[in-house]
């Protein structure tokens, strides 16, 4: 047998693909179709005007089919720098922006510049499983930080976990999987902790476009020295439904961009040109459309929170952006419950164990529900099925 990388071999398999395998051999009658609230991704294609703009680029722009700059198309980097500077009240330059193949690659690039095998990175729990997977593959130890009320982590608790091997703290807000929106003062507290201890603060804001709050969610970019501590991650996949085109971004200091460019050139050379063209077009033209998308997601959030409140024994621990993190009332571990919900209720959700350390009791008590994948009628049907489920 050919040799395997032991760190990669020890990494768990992709959770969403694992959940899809639970559907094999299960049929869902037309009058009771599957309600799939497992994956956090838009289920519809981009709006037609955006698709037309991308199609026209494919037909009429020769460079749409060629390698581009490793750090991204200049017009998209410039657009991100302008928009983020305005939104966060700070100063971000195009040379501090890199375009990546989705936000997952942005995370991998950032971590590759920060840590190596034997180092440690702090992740709040529950964590986004792809972050944990990448750390495992690199031999970097994940140090779990338990969240407090509202599923919000505490900088003081994080400080107790910092050791000589700690290289970074990673935050996701709005959070995947809990949906929690971290208060600005909490993010500022983590920034101060990271700076004081010589760490990087990596803030993944993939779901920033669906934050329920108005105005800037934090003031970290208003700090003129933000680049000495902060690395910001973003995805265009959710805002403009560009999931299949793989377009994300990382914002960091110019010195770190030198290292990020090495990584990106090695693993992909550049992000999709057509995807980048689409993202830039969306930023320039889809403001009102995106506002309507946000309003719809907020309606689905409210419907989910209201519906879950009416389910006996269920408890919503966090709800926001695309997700609800819920505690179930059954004497079943969440993986067993999730499989039974497929077969007996026609519902596909992810068990909390996919977001927590192996054997952690909290993981067994929770499910993640990606409510953004269901319309209001679908959410109502979901609540009816959960209410009627009897293990």
pLDDT digit string (tens) for 324-356? 999 999 999 999 999 999 999 999 999 999 999
Q: Note the pLDDT tens digit of each residue in 13-62.
A: 998 899 999 999 899 999 999 999 998 788 889 999 999 999 999 999 99
Task: Specify whether the CB–CB gap between 242 and 283 falls below 8 A.
Answer: no
Cα 248 to Cα 14, 96, 167, 279: the distances in Å are 20, 14, 23, 9
Q: Note the pLDDT tens digit of each residue in 178-234.
A: 999 999 999 999 999 999 999 999 999 999 999 999 999 999 999 999 999 999 999
| Residues 6 or more apart in contact with residue 77 via CB below 8 angstroms | 71, 94, 95, 97, 98, 99
Cα distance between residue 318 and residue 305, in whole Å: 9
| Bridge-based pairing state of the strands 35-36 and 347-348 | parallel
First to last CA, the chain: 43
Helix (H, G, I), strand (E, B) or coil at 224: coil
Share of the chain above pLDDT 70, in %: 100
Cα distance between residue 95 and residue 374, in whole Å: 39
Where residue 111 falls among pLDDT bands split at 50, 70, 90?
Answer: very high
Mean pLDDT across 275-287: 97
């Amino acid at each position: 047998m050919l040799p395997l990388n032991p760190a990669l071999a020890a990494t768990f398999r992709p959770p969403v693909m694992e959940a899809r395998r639970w559907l094999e051999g299960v049929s869902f009658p037309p009058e009771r179709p599957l309600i799939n609230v497992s994956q956090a991704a838009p289920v519809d294609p981009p709006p037609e005007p955006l698709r037309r703009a991308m199609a026209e680029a494919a037909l009429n722009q020769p460079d749409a089919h060629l390698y581009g700059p490793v750090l991204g198309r200049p017009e998209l980097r410039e657009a991100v720098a302008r928009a983020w500077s305005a939104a966060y009240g700070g100063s971000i330059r195009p040379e501090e922006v890199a375009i990546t193949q989705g936000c997952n690659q942005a995370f991998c690039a950032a971590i590759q510049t920060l840590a190596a095998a034997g180092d440690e990175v702090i992740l709040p729990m529950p964590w986004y499983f792809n972050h944990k997977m990448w750390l495992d593959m690199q031999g970097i130890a994940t140090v779990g930080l338990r969240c407090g009320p509202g599923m919000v982590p505490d900088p003081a608790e994080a400080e107790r976990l910092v050791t000589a091997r700690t290289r970074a703290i990673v935050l996701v807000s709005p959070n995947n999987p809990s949906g929690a929106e971290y208060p600005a003062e909490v993010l500022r507290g983590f920034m101060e902790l990271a700076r004081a201890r010589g760490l990087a603060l990596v803030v993944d804001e993939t779901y920033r476009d669906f934050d329920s709050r108005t105005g800037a969610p934090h003031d970290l970019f208003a700090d003129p020295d933000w680049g000495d501590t902060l690395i910001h991650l973003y995805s265009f996949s959710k805002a403009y439904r560009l999931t299949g085109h793989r377009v994300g971004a990382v914002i960091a200091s110019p010195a770190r961009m030198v290292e990020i460019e090495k990584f990106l050139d090695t693993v992909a050379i550049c992000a999709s040109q057509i995807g980048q063209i689409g993202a830039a077009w969306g930023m320039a033209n889809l403001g009102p459309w995106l506002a309507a998308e946000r309003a719809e997601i907020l309606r689905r959030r409210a419907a989910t929170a209201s519906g879950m409140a009416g389910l006996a024994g269920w408890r919503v621990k966090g709800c926001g952006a695309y997700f609800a993190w819920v505690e179930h009332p059954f004497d079943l571990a969440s993986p067993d419950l999730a499989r039974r919900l497929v077969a007996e209720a026609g519902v596909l959700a992810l068990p909390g164990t996919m977001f927590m350390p192996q054997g952690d009791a909290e993981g067994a008590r929770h499910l993640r529900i990606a409510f953004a994948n269901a319309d209001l009628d679908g959410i109502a049907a979901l609540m009816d099925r959960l209410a009627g489920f009897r293990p």
